[in-house]
Structure 1
Amino acid sequence: MTTAVIYLAGPEVFLPNAVALGAAKKALCQRYGFTGLFPLDAELEAGDTTELAWAISRGNEALIRQADRVIANLTPFRGPSADVGTVYELGFARGLGKQLMGYSNDPTPFANRTWAQFGITGEPGPVGDIRDRDGLKIEEFGLHDNLMIEGGIRQAGGLFISHNASVNDRYTDLTAFERLLQTLV
């Protein structure tokens, strides 16, 4: 019997304890009978800084190709939405026909986070026409992130869940990640 392989996408690679967190996620995968591939698992050969960037990109795409599915940490990162690299990886995996799953450790809806991120004061405006400080429409679908992210996960047969982690554990809490693994068993 072959073990299903899961690519573990998310902004964890930027954390000071990235290697340890990747190991913890891979151990949880193993506990539930899966093999986890963490982005830092890619074997890289590169020279200068730019070459390293391209090597990381190639390496992560290679890991995604090896995987049967992707579980992505879509907790807002450096803004009101998920890490842009993680979102790219989801789109790449969707294009390859992989099953997608995602989670966020911030249950606040995308519209509320966007409103708060830009420090807009006053009332948001009439429902259906909430705008940011530049007058641009803010998505109001009650989703946790941009509709294309959650829509892609749903249409790929996946699941998106959220968990209310403490602010200090926003990127390291693995409760929602483990819940997704449990749904796959």
Structure 2
Amino acid sequence: MATPTLRKIYLAGPEVFCPEASELGARKKALCKHYGFHGLFPLDGEVQASGSARELGFAISAANEQLIRNADLVIANLTPFRGASADVGTVYEIGLARGLGKVIHGYSNDPASFSERTFALFGQGEYGQSELHDRDGLSIERFDLHDNLMIEGGIALSGGIFLTHPATEAEKYSDLTAFENLLRQLQLQYQRQ
């Protein structure tokens, strides 16, 4: 009897910017293995570039796109990064994965809604008003979602799961509780198939 092929999961998220990025990647990959998956971390990509920082940036982009193409599904850490929303690179990656027809799962270590976070950073007036506006008078979306409607909507339309967990500020990018909960759910889901 042939050994089943492990499903490959691209592990998108802003962890690559953390000082302990390699350690976080190793922890996530170990959890994937524990639950019967093979994790692909962005720093795993084969990067070959000589010359400028710009060329290196393009090489990293190409390597990460190849990892996404090679993955069976994506789990994205959508914890807000440098603003009210998820890391823009991670958002690009889940858009690419969605366009490739992959199932996308996401999690955030901040359970507040996107409208709450946006208003806290840029809002004007009081939060309880029926319509919310930022300091420039532009409306703030209120769809009771944890990030922009295209992000969470794309996850749902792909058949994916989105979870949140209230991590401490110090562990905002390193707490893997929601990530592990997702892996548990995926393991059960695939066992039933």
Report % sequence identity: 64
1:179 aligns with 2:181: yes
**Of 33, 36, 52, which residue of structure 1 is paired with 2:36?**
33
Alignment map for 1:83-102 (pairs within 5 Å) = 83-102=87-106
Rounded Cα–Cα distance in structure 2 between residues aligned with 1:61 and 1:179? 26
Aligned length: 183
Alignment map for 1:46-57 (pairs within 5 Å) = 46-47=49-50, 48-57=52-61
**Structure 1: which 5+ runs fail to align?**
none
CA contact (8 A) 1:124 1:131 kept: no
CA contact (8 A) 1:98 1:156 kept: yes
Cα 1:2–1:35 change in 2 (3 A) is same
1:13 aligns with 2:16: yes
Please give the root-mean-square deviation of Cα atoms over the aligned residues, in Å. Answer: 0.9
**Structure 2: which 5+ runs fail to align?**
188-193
Question: Residue in 1 aligned with 2:190?
Answer: none
Give a deviation string over 1:103-162, Cα, whole Å, max 9, x none: 0000010001001112x45413632x2110100010101100000000000000001010
Question: Residue in 2 aligned with 1:147?
Answer: 149
Give a deviation string over 1:35-92, Cα, whole Å, max 9, x none: 0000000010012201100001000000000000000000000000000000000000
Question: Structure 1 segments of 4 or more deviating over 4 A?
Answer: none
Question: Residue in 2 aligned with 1:67?
Answer: 71
CA contact (8 A) 2:124 2:135 kept: no
Rounded Cα–Cα distance in structure 1 between residues aligned with 2:146 and 2:129? 20
CA contact (8 A) 2:49 2:59 kept: yes
Residue identity matched to 2:59: A
Rounded Cα–Cα distance in structure 1 between residues aligned with 2:120 and 2:13? 23
TM-score (norm 2): 0.93
